[in-house]
Structure 1
Amino acid sequence: MRAVTILGARSDIAMACAHVFAAEGDQVTLAARQVETLQNAARDLELRHGGTVSLREFDVLDDTGLAAFVDGAEVPDVVISAVGLLGDQTADERNVEAAARVMRSNFEGPALVLGAYANAMEARGSGVIVGISSVAGDRGRATNYIYGSAKAGFTAFLSGLRNRLAGRGVHVVTVKPGFVATKMTEHLDLPEKLTAAPEEVAQAVLKAVEKRRDVIYVRAIWRLVMGIIRLIPERVFKKLSI
């Protein structure tokens, strides 16, 4: 039985991960803002899968409290960051505060808290860190470069962290889901063949943890799609609206 902490537990992907790991017999901790509102979800997990589900208050934007949050409980075997904020590119590019919130929610906050977990796991000599990033970070695009640039930073952070911890008993997994049908994206018209369900992402996360994968695209087609997008020359790319 593993101890699994899920950060940003209010999201659809996070809850799907909670069900997948609880079904494996793992002890799950849900961490989120206003975590008391997740009491019913926690009881549902316990009834469906057995075991005990714990709740912890967590605010990824409270950078002064992140170290205390990590120090405030036993270090888990697995920590999953499912924190994210899509934002609205058109509005955010004209609003500094809104843009900063997107950037901090997708990069700064998750990177800082996972960095603290990394130190604790390194000292213990074991652990798995999972960061849910995005294919949006593979190349900056006009339609989502604020969100995408934050995810690019998070992806680079996870890569460096994985390199630093190699051979020290701690493994770091980068997850790139592509489109996911969640509450965050329900206003978007998403292509079916490129869109995963939260449960599909959760199963991919579980598999990546157990097989010690480094970087995974939840749907393999995204590796091809983003590979092509990265190869488009800049002089051509800047004329596209993608």
Structure 2
Amino acid sequence: MTENKVVLILGANSDVAKEALKIYIQEKNYTIIAASRNIDQLREYVATNDLPTEKVKILKFDATDFDSHKQFYDRLPAKPHIVVYAAGYLKDNEEALRDFDGAFQMMKVHYAGAVSILNIICMDETNNRLEQIIGLSSLSGVRGRKSNFIYGSTKAAFTQYFAGMRQYLFPRKIKVNVIVAGYIRSKMTEGLDLTESLMLEPEFIARAVVKANKKFIIVPGYKWKAIYHILRMLPEQLVARLP
């Protein structure tokens, strides 16, 4: 039987996180600590999907409430083997340009919140069973584009933080992965004018999360892998012409 590991999912109410929660339980038999601001929706999801309640502990977690993070971690019912950071927030770029509160919220959720809680988790050397930290990032963070550069900049910072954390944790043999995702059909992208042929389902991304192994950058979907490599290689004068 597979070892009954503990997975801490931060931002567990995202569509990808909820699918990952289900896969970790049903296919891995892991125990989940699901942490989110909206615990009622998580309880509803667990009940609707007939997931065993003894396998899921639901806790309140706000990525932007930095002062609460140390207490949150210290009070966990069990220290995790695996940590998934999936908290997300999206504000339209034009709105974010005019409303700094919206821009700042993206910065807090995607970067500052991740640094705050993950620093605490990384520095706990008493948790000798920590083996993996996985972050949900975005292709928007690969190159700056005029249509979404504020959101993209927060994801770029997130990815760079994970890159450094990977090096920092290497001596302790802790794997660090970033899922660099393209368009996901989710409540966060609902209503956006996105290319249908490029849309990926939350379950598809969730499986990439659960299967993440030694590779640092993981780009789910062959189309998005190609786009990722093209974006990285494009000269800046061509990137400037992108929407």
Tell me, in whole angstroms, the C-alpha distance in 1 between the residues paired with 2:41 and 2:181: 26
* Residue of 7, 11, 33 corresponding to 2:10: 7
Tell me, in whole angstroms, the C-alpha distance in 2 between the residues paired with 1:115 and 1:234: 34
Residue 68 of structure 1: how far off its partner (Å): 1.6
How many residues in Structure 1 have an aligned counterpart in Structure 2? 238
Matches of residues 145-224 of structure 1 in structure 2 within 5 Å?
Answer: 145-208=149-212, 211-224=213-226
| Structure 1 residues not aligned, in runs of 5+ | none
1:39 lines up with 2:46 in the alignment: no
Look up the match of 2:124. 120
Residue 51 of structure 1: how far off its partner (Å): 4.3
**Contact kept? 1:75, 1:117, Cα under 8 Å:** no
TM-score (norm 2): 0.91
Residue 235 of structure 1: how far off its partner (Å): 2.9
Look up the match of 1:231. 233
1:137 lines up with 2:141 in the alignment: yes
TM-score (norm 1): 0.91
1:18 lines up with 2:21 in the alignment: yes
Tell me, in whole angstroms, the C-alpha distance in 2 between the residues paired with 1:27 and 1:123: 17
Tell me, in whole angstroms, the C-alpha distance in 2 between the residues paired with 1:135 and 1:143: 13
Look up the match of 1:98. 102
Letter in 1 for 2:20: C
Tell me, in whole angstroms, the C-alpha distance in 1 between the residues paired with 2:174 and 2:48: 31
| Structure 2 residues not aligned, in runs of 5+ | none
* Range that drifts further, 92-101 or 125-134: 125-134
Tell me, in whole angstroms, the C-alpha distance in 1 between the residues paired with 2:96 and 2:164: 28
SS of equivalent to 2:124: helix
SS of equivalent to 2:133: strand
Residue 169 of structure 1: how far off its partner (Å): 2.7
* Range that drifts further, 109-118 or 158-167: 109-118
Tell me, in whole angstroms, the C-alpha distance in 2 between the residues paired with 1:38 and 1:58: 12
- The alignment's C-alpha RMSD in Å is 1.8
SS of equivalent to 1:173: strand
What percent of counterpart residues are identical? 31
